[in-house]
Structure 1
Amino acid sequence: MNLPKRNIRIADHSIVQEMGHGVVILNLNTEHFYELDEVGKRFWELLSDHQDSESVFNVLQDEYEVSAEQLQTDILRLIENLEKAELIVVS
C-alpha cells in the first residue's frame, strides 16, 4: 500500500447528522453541506478514533471487500474532497 500516512482531524466547525445509511456534514463557517454514503460514514467515524489515513485504510480494508488499490484511490479522493470543503484538517 502506498497511501501516505497523514494526520487528519475533523474540523471544529463540522457538524454531522445521520441520514439513512449515510451522514450529512455541515460546515458552519460556509454553511455548505456534504453527503457521505455508508462507507464514507464509516471513514468519518474512524477519523474520531484513528486520526491518520493509514490506520483508517487498514480498518476499512478489513471491513470491506475491495482491492487495496481501489480503496486507496477512494480514500485519497475522499480526503481531498473533505479537505477542500474545509470539513477536515490534514497535516
Structure 2
Amino acid sequence: MTFLEEKIALSESCIVREMGDGFVILNLSTERFYELKEVGKRFWELISENKEYTLTLNILQEEYDVTAEQLRKDISRLTEDLKKAGLIVNC
C-alpha cells in the first residue's frame, strides 16, 4: 500500500494551538512539543477535515506553487515524521 492509499487520523493524545502562521502541537504521551509552519499547518487542517490523501494533495497543489511530484515527496516525508512523533496514526 502506498501512502496515498492510507487513511490517517490525528492522535487523540495531542493538543494543538495556533501560534503565528503555524501550529504548536503537544504530544501528551511524550510531553514533547512540535511546530508546523504554513504548509504543514494547512496539511494538518485538511487531514483533520478529510482523511483522504488524494483530495488533500489536490487542494495543496491548487493552493501552493509546487509540482505534483515534489508535493507527494514532501507530504510523504511529513507524514512519516508526524507518525514517528506520534501525532498521527493509521486508521
Q: Identify unmatched segments of 5+ residues in structure 1.
A: none
Letter in 2 for 1:9: A
Q: Any conservation in 2 of the 1:3–1:72 contact (CA below 8 Å)?
A: no
Shift of 1:65: 0.9
Cα distance in structure 2, aligned partners of 1:31 and 1:23:
16
What is the TM-score with the length of structure 2 in the denominator?
A: 0.91
Q: Could you report, residue by residue, the CA deviation over 1:60-83 in whole angstroms, capped at 9, with x for unpaired residues?
A: 011111011110111000000000
Q: How many residues align?
A: 90
| C-alpha RMSD of the superposition | 1.4
The corresponding residue for 1:40 is: 40
Cα distance in structure 2, aligned partners of 1:5 and 1:46:
16
What is the TM-score with the length of structure 1 in the denominator?
A: 0.91
1:3-42 matches, within 5 Å, as 4-42=4-42
Percent identity of paired positions between Structure 1 and Structure 2: 54
